[in-house]
Amino acid sequence: MPVPVIVLNFGHSVLRSLDDYTEAASEIYRHYRQGQNVVAVTSAQGDQTDMLMAEARQIGPDGAAKNLPELIQLGERRSAALLALALERIGAPAFVRQARDLGLKARNATLVNLDVEQLEDDLKNHDIVVMPGHVAIGEKDRTVLLTEGGADMTAIYVAKRLGIKAKLLKDVEGVFDKDPKSAGAAPQRYDRISYVDARKKAGPLVSPKALDFAEEHSIEFDIGTPGIPSYTTIGAKTGTLSPLPAPKKLRVAMLGCGIVGGGVYRRVKANSERFEMVKIMVRDTAKYIDQGYKPEELTTNIEDVLAAKPDIFIDVSGPVEPCLTYCKTLLENGIHVVSANKQAIAAGGQELVDFARDKGAQLMFSSAAGGGMPVLEMCIRERGRITRVEALLNGTTNYMLDEISAGKSYAEALKEAQDKGFAEADPSGDVNGSDAAAKIRLVALLGFGEEVTLEDIPRDTIENFAPATPPKGAMKRIATCWKDMNGFSTKLELKDLSLNNFIAQADGEEAHAIFYFDDGDQYRIRGKGAGRWPTTESVMADLYDISATYF
Ligand code: HSE
């Protein structure tokens, strides 16, 4: 089954500051974790184009200079590189392609060619492709620019050639009956709008040339803003107007504030229109006050957390108890729980999932397995047709095995994994396999509807791993869950894998997984299995999914 793909264009109004690239990467990640591959088309950041134009005026010839596009394209290319870096930070598999690499050609400022096979290959190999908009190759092989707002045109053209949909992301949630920033009665948004009406109502929101091109080729596309699931579709017909539902600002409390908690704290603060951190429960408040947290944000007891009336409780701590009890207490009170605590969730099992449902609260724990690799989303989506899952489920182990195979000692490799924030506070579970085993239990539960205990999972340890000879391929510790005529089984095995194997290609803390389906189909996913930002992003995506239910 082909993987669905979407083209997302990030306009300059949503790329105003460097922080906006983090938000853009989050938007892409949210699509990726829903099972979509993404072509991200970038505009230049804010006023970068004006700055480059000013430089050109100082040095270049007057009038239309043939080499001007060489300079101006750097704005869009810089954006593509920054977005790819932001994606890499959260462990999303991004790959940058330039217009020239993709045979993106223009004549008279209109796109006329794309090497579709190349782009499809890139998507197969990298899942997310980032490319600058507005830039193309013109006559005599020169770089040329499309007209004003050309990144819209790039996104629409690429989507048309791939036979998929483009979504243009701007700083407004779609097309309105009046300027959404104007005074007076609240503006209303169209769910759909025709090309003709869009010319009158969308104003400078969409490049007129892109709109003409879309109309001429009957291409539908969407206009929206990052983080808001609804949007306006531009196409043949105008639909209905409705008031824009404002997202409720959700109160968030957190249990634990270590590597991941610190990341979540920063991202929640950066998304202050949507979320407010109302309480953080830790063992020792003084330690966090020293780190700059405000005393009133911190507590050591769960009663204070409840009194803060959170909408969502985030568990980024490690042990089963008292965390599992706390989660149940919060769920009991109808408070949603987002958990990265794989041991607590695995121990709670189906009973905990049922408990949350009975209390009418959402229980989400994407970050509890796979870090930023959306392995549990895949389990939920495809349950019923999965016959086998092979996955790297512990980033620390993968990192250590690579380093030891390259000549480092076990102690050195472990110390580095701890310093980089991959290992748990007590890393014994990382190396002896109980961390991966808890994640196997979550895959078994969500992907197969099976509850297994730690004792049911045969597992290889990597404690004091020191191979006498270097591996022939790559040493990996693979978690496998499968069902066959003998029933359901799991194991955690150390293997020397051929370098051609997709799982063997995960470097360092990266995680790879292969899903096998009952119709013979396979699906591969990847991400970073551990570390602050990949895991934080996974928590944030759960927060956004909960937030979406409040519109
Ligand atoms: N210690 C864990 C790992 C963190 O290395 O995979 C992510 O769950």
- Same-domain check for residues 172 and 285: no
The phi, psi pair for 93, rounded to 5°, reads -80, 80
Average pLDDT over residues 345-350: 98
Distance between CA atoms of residues 510 and 37, nearest Å = 18
Q: Where are the beta strands (DSSP E) in 164-281?
A: 166-169, 188-190, 192-194, 221-224, 232-235, 241-243, 250-255, 275-281
CB 433 within 8 A of CB 496: no
Which tens digits make up the pLDDT trace of 488-501?
999 999 999 999 99
**Active-site residue identified among 170, 209, 439, 528:** 439
- Same-domain check for residues 416 and 344: no
Of 225, 243, 261, the one marking the end of a domain is 243
Q: What is the predicted pLDDT for the residue at 189?
A: 95
Distance between CA atoms of residues 175 and 230, nearest Å = 11
Q: Is 439 a catalytic residue?
A: yes
In a mutational test of the pocket of ligand 1, which residue from 435, 478, 510, 537 has the highest number of ligand atoms less than 8 Å from its CB?
435
- Write the CB contacts of 357 (distance below 8 Å, at least 6 apart in sequence): 363
Which tens digits make up the pLDDT trace of 364-398?
999 999 999 999 999 999 999 999 999 999 999 99
Q: CA 347, 392, 434: angle at the middle one, nearest 5?
A: 35
- Same-domain check for residues 303 and 226: no
Per-residue pLDDT band for 76 (boundaries 50, 70, 90) equals: very high
Distance between CA atoms of residues 224 and 505, nearest Å = 36
- Same-domain check for residues 227 and 299: no
Of 243, 271, 304, the one marking the end of a domain is 243
CATH of the domain at 122: 3.40.1160.10
Q: What is the predicted pLDDT for the residue at 425?
A: 87
CATH of the domain at 310: 3.40.50.720
Tokens encoding 532: 């602050």
Q: What number does the ligand 1 atom closest to the CA of 340 have? A: 8
Q: What is the predicted pLDDT for the residue at 46?
A: 86
Q: Give the rounded percent of residues in the chain with a pLDDT score beyond 90.
A: 91
- Same-domain check for residues 76 and 211: yes
Which range marks the domain in which residue 342 is found? 250-370+536-548
- Same-domain check for residues 212 and 166: yes
Which range is least confidently modeled, 44-48, 280-284, 385-389? 44-48
Please provide the average confidence, as pLDDT, over all residues in the chain: 95
Q: What is the predicted pLDDT for the residue at 247?
A: 83
Residue from 329, 381, 339, 332 nearest 363 by CA? 339
Which tens digits make up the pLDDT trace of 305-324?
999 999 999 999 999 999 99
Tokens encoding 15: 């790329």
Q: What is the predicted pLDDT for the residue at 394?
A: 97
CB 79 within 8 A of CB 15: yes
Pairing relationship of beta strands 487-497 and 474-484 according to DSSP bridges: antiparallel
- Same-domain check for residues 379 and 512: yes
Say if ligand 1 is within 6 A of residue 424 CB: yes
Nearest CA to ligand 1 atom 6: 394
- Same-domain check for residues 277 and 364: yes
CATH of the domain at 460: 3.30.360.10
Average pLDDT over residues 194-199: 96
- What's the 313 CA to ligand 1 centre distance in angstroms? 21
Can you tell me whether residue 180 is helix, strand or coil? Answer: coil
Which tens digits make up the pLDDT trace of 473-490?
999 999 999 999 999 999
Residue whose pair of structure tokens reads 């990726």 in the numeric block:
32
Distance between CA atoms of residues 281 and 188, nearest Å = 41
Distance between CA atoms of residues 442 and 298, nearest Å = 31
- What's the 371 CA to ligand 1 centre distance in angstroms? 7
Distance between CA atoms of residues 372 and 513, nearest Å = 12
Residue from 548, 543, 537 nearest 25 by CA? 537
Pairing relationship of beta strands 363-364 and 336-339 according to DSSP bridges: parallel
Can you tell me whether residue 502 is helix, strand or coil? Answer: coil
CB 93 within 8 A of CB 527: yes
Q: What number does the ligand 1 atom closest to the CA of 439 have? A: 8
User: What sign has the CA pseudo-torsion 215, 216, 221, 225?
Assistant: negative
What's the first-to-final CA gap in the chain, in angstroms?
Answer: 32
- Same-domain check for residues 395 and 508: yes
Say if ligand 1 is within 6 A of residue 530 CB: yes
63 or 126, which is more confident: 126
Q: What is the predicted pLDDT for the residue at 109?
A: 87
Measure Cα distances from 290 to 14, 144, 147 in Å.
Answer: 35, 54, 53
CB 338 within 8 A of CB 539: yes
Rg of the chain in Å (alpha carbons): 25
- Same-domain check for residues 328 and 467: no
Distance between CA atoms of residues 43 and 280, nearest Å = 38
Q: Is the pLDDT of residue 149 over 90?
A: no
- Write the CB contacts of 121 (distance below 8 Å, at least 6 apart in sequence): none
Q: What is the predicted pLDDT for the residue at 186?
A: 85
User: What sign has the CA pseudo-torsion 260, 21, 298, 340?
Assistant: negative
In a mutational test of the pocket of ligand 1, which residue from 317, 367, 430 has the highest number of ligand atoms less than 8 Å from its CB?
430
Q: What is the predicted pLDDT for the residue at 119?
A: 98
Nearest CA to ligand 1 atom 7: 530
Q: Is the pLDDT of residue 221 over 80?
A: yes
Q: What is the predicted pLDDT for the residue at 196?
A: 95
* Cα torsion through 46, 49, 53, 54, rounded to 10: 20
Tokens encoding 148: 């004003």
- Same-domain check for residues 366 and 379: no
Can you tell me whether residue 433 is helix, strand or coil? Answer: coil
- What's the 340 CA to ligand 1 centre distance in angstroms? 10
CB 270 within 8 A of CB 537: no
Q: Is the pLDDT of residue 1 over 80?
A: no
Number of domains in the chain: 3
CB 235 within 8 A of CB 220: yes
- Same-domain check for residues 401 and 386: yes
Per-residue pLDDT band for 244 (boundaries 50, 70, 90) equals: confident
